[in-house]
């Protein structure tokens, strides 16, 4: 949602913001530019993701087919297609699917360059990887893996140069641009580490909680029925995996990267992030499924594969429903389920949108709001409200620990409206402090998790 908000904000006032940052801005340059053609930002972003999601299955199959046989390529594509996180992202607006498609395209064309000795294929691989670097920082690690693989397998300076020149320039720019403004690329890492430390402290999350999520999340999606056969296949094909296979390299290296971030910097896994590297385990899961099913007769083999597919879908849906969507209605579906608080806030903003221009709104998102998340930015986007004429700020209490102690930021006192979570830890102290400064707030409770304090008559 933050990226979408940035995209719309950029479209209102197009300007050059560089190419680097905590979130590389290429995604909102792209989406923001498209809003000039179709001013439906959420539908636009979901359409882009739907196209990327469908194409990613086809490109992934093509890339896997270059390393494994047809049956494993088909199974890998099937496992990606029934992955609950992949389906959810296909129907959402996050950046992970465009990024994943670019990585798959870069992988496919690098394999094609190896087979055909074509500099054009090598160049295309580098171009796709360049765009991936400008979407997410993890692609810097992927670039290192691709360079190593190219040195080992391509063995042609012409092909290696054709592949490496453009993405290396993009990677170098990640260091040059911050340096030009007196900063460092690693300032981003420090900033994220500090944010995560504050967030974990506010939510009461320990290192053990983070490690536990490492076990529970992949067991739910892509499911234990995929992960266990995947590790089995990775072990059985370890000679291929550790020497020549890019999929295994991407899975192992990113597992090490994110595990290090969890252990040293308090990073907590999320399903959409985990998909970015667990997708590389799918070819080995496909191999494991085939190896298990081949122990049966041909008829029983088909039944065994069908049983594995059904078990994977059922386990994902049940654990997704209970673990992620807290048993909400239709929460077993791999789709974005609107919660009552967000729906209520969307409707209230729509009813009052004529009163909002030139007003100041502050929303304080509580540390417990993750159980029923709501966002002011979402309400602006779905109601097609231009934010340039509204002074608004959404403050995540997880990054402002002083609010939990009842200290209210100055911008809240100066606001015309303050949106609070009545069930949040900070609520009583915050409301008392606000009313002590200005006793004539009017309160409108939109749901059990959203209340609006307003100075407007």
Tell me: do 320 and 353 sit in the same domain: no
Query: Does residue 427 lie in a domain region?
Result: yes
Maximum mean pLDDT: which of 54-63, 336-345, 398-407: 54-63
Tell me: do 258 and 370 sit in the same domain: no
Q: How far is it, in rounded angstroms, from Cα 413 to Cα 436? A: 10
pLDDT over threshold 80, residue 88 = yes
Q: What is the pLDDT of residues 121-165, one digit of tens each?
A: 999 999 999 999 999 999 999 999 999 999 999 989 999 999 999
Structure tokens at 386: 């231009």
Which residues lie across from 418 on neighbouring strands? 362, 453
Please state which of the ranges 80-94, 216-230, 247-261, 336-350 shows the lowest mean pLDDT. Answer: 336-350
Query: Does residue 250 lie in a domain region?
Result: yes
* Three-class DSSP category at 411: helix
pLDDT over threshold 60, residue 370 = no
pLDDT for the residue numbered 409: 81
pTM confidence score: 0.90
Tell me: do 360 and 294 sit in the same domain: no
**What are the CA-CA distances from residue 301 to residues 18, 164, 291, 367 (Å)?**
54, 44, 10, 49
Residue 191: pLDDT band by 50, 70, 90 thresholds?
Answer: confident
Query: Does residue 63 lie in a domain region?
Result: no
Strands 442-447 and 450-454: antiparallel
Tell me: do 316 and 447 sit in the same domain: no
Tell me: do 227 and 321 sit in the same domain: yes
Query: Does residue 37 lie in a domain region?
Result: no
Tell me: do 396 and 321 sit in the same domain: no
Phi, psi at 73, each rounded to 5°: -60, -45
Maximum mean pLDDT: which of 154-158, 242-246, 314-318, 437-441: 314-318
120-157 burial: b if 16+ Cβ within 10 Å, else e: ebbbbbbbbbbbbbbbbbbbbebbeebbebbeeebebe
Query: Does residue 98 lie in a domain region?
Result: no
pLDDT for the residue numbered 195: 74
Query: Does residue 289 lie in a domain region?
Result: yes
Place of tokens 């029925």: 225
Tell me: do 223 and 201 sit in the same domain: yes
- Who contacts 99 (Cβ-Cβ below 8 Å, separation ≥6)? 132, 135, 136, 139, 276
pLDDT for the residue numbered 232: 96
Domain with 257 in it: 185-335
Query: Does residue 195 lie in a domain region?
Result: yes
CA angle, 187 then 188 then 191, to 5°: 85
Q: What percent of the chain has pLDDT over 70?
A: 96
**What are the CA-CA distances from residue 137 to residues 19, 189, 271, 298 (Å)?**
12, 10, 18, 45
Query: In the chain, how many domains are there?
Result: 2
pLDDT over threshold 60, residue 171 = yes
Boundary-marking domain end, from 271, 306, 335: 335
- Give the mean pLDDT of the chain: 88
Q: What is the pLDDT of residues 388-423, one digit of tens each?
A: 778 888 887 766 767 777 678 888 888 889 999 888
Query: Does residue 41 lie in a domain region?
Result: no
Boundary-marking domain end, from 335, 368, 392: 335
pLDDT for the residue numbered 123: 98
pLDDT for the residue numbered 21: 80
Tell me: do 263 and 290 sit in the same domain: yes
Tell me: do 272 and 370 sit in the same domain: no
Tell me: do 376 and 328 sit in the same domain: no
Closest CA to 278 of 318, 223, 321: 223
Tell me: do 194 and 260 sit in the same domain: yes
* Three-class DSSP category at 442: strand
Tell me: do 203 and 306 sit in the same domain: yes
Boundary-marking domain end, from 335, 368, 400: 335
Q: How far is it, in rounded angstroms, from Cα 160 to Cα 148? A: 10
């Amino acid at each position: 949602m933050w990226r979408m908000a940035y995209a719309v904000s950029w479209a209102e006032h197009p300007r050059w913001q560089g190419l680097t940052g905590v979130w590389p801005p290429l995604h909102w340059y792209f989406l923001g530019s498209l809003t000039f053609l179709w001013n439906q930002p959420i539908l636009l972003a979901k359409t882009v993701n739907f196209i990327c999601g469908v194409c990613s299955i086809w490109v992934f199959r093509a890339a896997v087919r270059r390393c494994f046989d047809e049956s494993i390529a088909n199974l890998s594509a099937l496992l990606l297609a029934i992955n609950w996180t992949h389906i959810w992202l296909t129907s959402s607006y996050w950046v992970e699917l465009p990024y994943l498609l670019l990585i798959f395209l870069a992988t496919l064309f690098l394999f094609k360059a190896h087979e055909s000795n074509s500099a054009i294929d090598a160049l295309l691989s580098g171009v796709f990887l360049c765009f991936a670097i400008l979407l997410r920082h993890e692609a810097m690690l992927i670039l290192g893996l691709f360079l190593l693989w190219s040195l080992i397998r391509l063995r042609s300076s012409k092909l290696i140069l054709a592949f490496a020149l453009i993405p290396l320039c993009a990677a170098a720019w990640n260091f040059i641009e911050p340096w030009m403004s007196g900063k460092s690329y690693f300032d981003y890492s420090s900033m994220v580490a500090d944010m995560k430390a504050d967030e974990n402290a506010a939510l009461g999350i320990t290192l053990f909680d983070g490690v536990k999520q490492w076990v529970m999340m992949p067991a739910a999606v892509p499911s234990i029925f995929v992960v266990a056969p995947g590790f089995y296949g990775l072990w059985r094909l370890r000679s291929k995996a550790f020497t020549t296979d890019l999929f295994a390299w991407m899975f192992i290296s990113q597992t090490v990267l994110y595990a290090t971030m969890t252990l040293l910097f308090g990073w907590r896994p999320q399903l959409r992030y985990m998909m970015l590297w667990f997708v590389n385990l799918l070819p080995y899961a496909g191999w494991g499924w085939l190896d298990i099913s081949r122990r049966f007769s041909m008829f029983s083999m088909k039944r065994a594969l069908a049983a594995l597919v059904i078990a994977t879908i059922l386990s994902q849906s049940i654990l997704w429903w209970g673990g992620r969507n807290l048993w909400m209605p239709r929460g077993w579906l791999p789709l974005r389920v609107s919660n009552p608080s967000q729906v209520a806030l969307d409707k209230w903003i729509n009813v009052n949108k004529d009163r909002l221009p030139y007003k100041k709104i502050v929303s304080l998102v509580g540390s417990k709001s993750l159980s029923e998340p709501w966002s002011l930015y979402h309400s602006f986007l779905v109601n097609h409200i231009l934010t340039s004429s509204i002074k608004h700020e959404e403050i995540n209490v997880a990054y402002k620990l002083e609010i939990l102690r009842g200290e209210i930021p100055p911008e809240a006192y100066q606001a015309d409206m303050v949106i609070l979570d009545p069930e949040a830890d900070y609520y009583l102290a915050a409301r008392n402090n606000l009313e002590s400064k200005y006793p004539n707030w009017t309160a409108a409770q939109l749901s059990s998790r959203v209340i609006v304090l307003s100075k407007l008559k």
